[in-house]
Chains A and B, each alone.
Chain A
Amino acid sequence: MASKAQRRPLALQIVLLATLVIWMIAAAFPFFWTLWGSFKVEADFFSLTNWDNALTGEMTRVETGGAFTNNGYYGAWIQEEFWRAAWNSTLVCLFVVSVSLTLGTLGGYALARSTYRYAFWFLLIALIFRALPPITLVSGYLPVFFDLNIWGYLPTAIIVLVAINQPFTLWMLHSFFKNIPAELDESAMVDGCTRFQAFRHVIIPVMWPGVITTGLFSFLLAYNDFAVTAMILDKQNQTMVPKIASFLGTTQTKGNVMFAVAAVVSATAPLFVLIMFFQRQIVSGLTAGAVKG
Chain B
Amino acid sequence: MKHSAFFWFVLPSAAAMLLFIFFPTVSIIVQSFYVEHEQVIIEVENCGPFGCQTATAIDQEATAALREEQPLGRFAGLEVYKDRNHLAVNEFGELWAQSDGIGDFIGDLMNLPFYKALGFTLTYTFVVTPLTIVFGFIIAVAVNSAARLFRGPLIFFTLLPNIVTPLIGGLILFWMVDARGVIGTALRWLADDPSLSVKADTGLMWTMLMVYGVWSSAPFAFIVYYAGLQTVSKDTLEAARIDGATRWQQIRHVVIPHLLPLTTFIALIQLMDNFRVFEPIISFNAQAHATSLSWAIFNDLGGETRQLSSAAATSVLTVIGVAILLSPVLVRTYRSYGKA
| Chain A interface residue number, banded | 35 or more
Q: Known contacts being A27-B160, A283-B227, is A20 close to B182, with CB within 8 Å?
A: no
| Nearest CB of chain B from residue A281's CB, rounded to whole Å | 12
Is the C-beta of A293 less than 8 angstroms from some C-beta in chain B?
A: yes
Q: Known contacts being A16-B145, A23-B142, A124-B333, is A160 close to B165, with CB within 8 Å?
A: no
Is the C-beta of A248 less than 8 angstroms from some C-beta in chain B?
A: yes
Tell me which residues across on chain B come within 8 A of A137, comparing CB atoms: 20-21, 24-25, 28, 315
Cβ B159 vs Cβ A282 within 8 A: yes
Tell me which residues across on chain B come within 8 A of A13, comparing CB atoms: 145
Cβ B9 vs Cβ A140 within 8 A: no
Cβ B241 vs Cβ A5 within 8 A: yes
Name the CB-closest residue of B to A49. Answer: B180
Q: Known contacts being A20-B154, A34-B175, A224-B165, is A136 close to B139, with CB within 8 Å?
A: no
Q: Known contacts being A27-B158, A133-B294, A135-B297, is A104 close to B13, with CB within 8 Å?
A: yes
Task: Report the separation of the CA atoms of residues A115 and B164 in the bound assembly, to the nearest whole angstrom.
Answer: 39
Q: A51, A195, A276: which contacts B5 (Cβ < 8 A)?
A: A195
Cβ A31 vs Cβ B172 within 8 A: yes
Cβ A279 vs Cβ B152 within 8 A: yes
Q: A12, A119, A227: which contacts B6 (Cβ < 8 A)?
A: A119
Tell me which residues across on chain A come within 8 A of B156, comparing CB atoms: 275-276, 279
Cβ B25 vs Cβ A132 within 8 A: yes
Cβ A271 vs Cβ B17 within 8 A: no
Is the C-beta of B64 less than 8 angstroms from some C-beta in chain A?
A: no
Is the C-beta of A268 less than 8 angstroms from some C-beta in chain B?
A: yes
Chain B 312-340, CB within 8 Å of chain A: the 1/0 string? 10011011001001100110011011101
Task: Report the separation of the CA atoms of residues A137 and B298 in the bound assembly, to the nearest whole angstrom.
Answer: 11
Task: Report the separation of the CA atoms of residues A47 and B307 in the bound assembly, to the nearest whole angstrom.
Answer: 40
* Max chain A C-beta neighbours (<10 A), residue from B19, B24, B154, B316: B24
Q: Known contacts being A128-B326, A163-B17, A271-B163, is A24 close to B145, with CB within 8 Å?
A: no
Cβ A223 vs Cβ B165 within 8 A: yes
Cβ B158 vs Cβ A293 within 8 A: no
Of the 9-residue stretches B51-59, B102-110, B201-209, B216-224, which lies at the interface with chain A?
B216-224
Of the 9-residue stretches B40-48, B85-93, B125-133, B268-276, which lies at the interface with chain A?
B268-276
Is the C-beta of A170 less than 8 angstroms from some C-beta in chain B?
A: yes
Tell me which residues across on chain B come within 8 A of A140, comparing CB atoms: 23-28, 31, 312, 315
Is the C-beta of B77 less than 8 angstroms from some C-beta in chain A?
A: no
Q: Known contacts being A46-B178, A226-B279, is A282 close to B163, with CB within 8 Å?
A: yes
- Where chain B touches its partner, the secondary structure class is helix
Is the C-beta of B185 less than 8 angstroms from some C-beta in chain A?
A: yes
| Nearest CB of chain B from residue A49's CB, rounded to whole Å | 10
Chain A 128-152, CB within 8 Å of chain B: the 1/0 string? 1101110111111111100100000
Give me 12 other A-B pairs in contact (C-beta within 8 A), A131-B325, A241-B165 excluded.
A13-B145, A24-B157, A26-B215, A31-B160, A47-B180, A113-B1, A122-B14, A137-B315, A139-B31, A141-B24, A163-B19, A196-B5
Task: Supply 10 A–B pairs (Cβ within 8 Å), ascending by A.
Answer: A16-B145, A45-B175, A106-B10, A110-B5, A111-B10, A124-B330, A135-B294, A224-B166, A244-B168, A274-B163
Which positions in B face A, CB cutoff 8 Å? 1-3, 5-6, 9-10, 12-14, 16-17, 19-28, 31, 71, 138-139, 141-143, 145-146, 152, 154-161, 163-168, 171-173, 175-176, 178-182, 185-186, 215, 219-220, 223-224, 227-228, 241, 247, 261-262, 265-266, 269, 272, 275-276, 278-279, 282, 285, 294, 297-298, 300-302, 306, 308, 311-312, 315-316, 318-319, 322, 325-326, 329-330, 333-334, 336-338, 340
Which positions in A face B, CB cutoff 8 Å? 5-6, 8, 12-13, 16-17, 19-20, 23-24, 26-28, 30-31, 33-34, 37, 45-48, 51, 54, 102-104, 106-107, 109-111, 113-116, 119-120, 122-124, 126-129, 131-133, 135-144, 147, 159-160, 162-164, 166-167, 170, 195-196, 199, 220, 223-224, 226-227, 230-231, 241, 244-245, 248, 260-261, 264, 267-268, 271-272, 274-276, 279, 282-283, 286-287, 289-291, 293
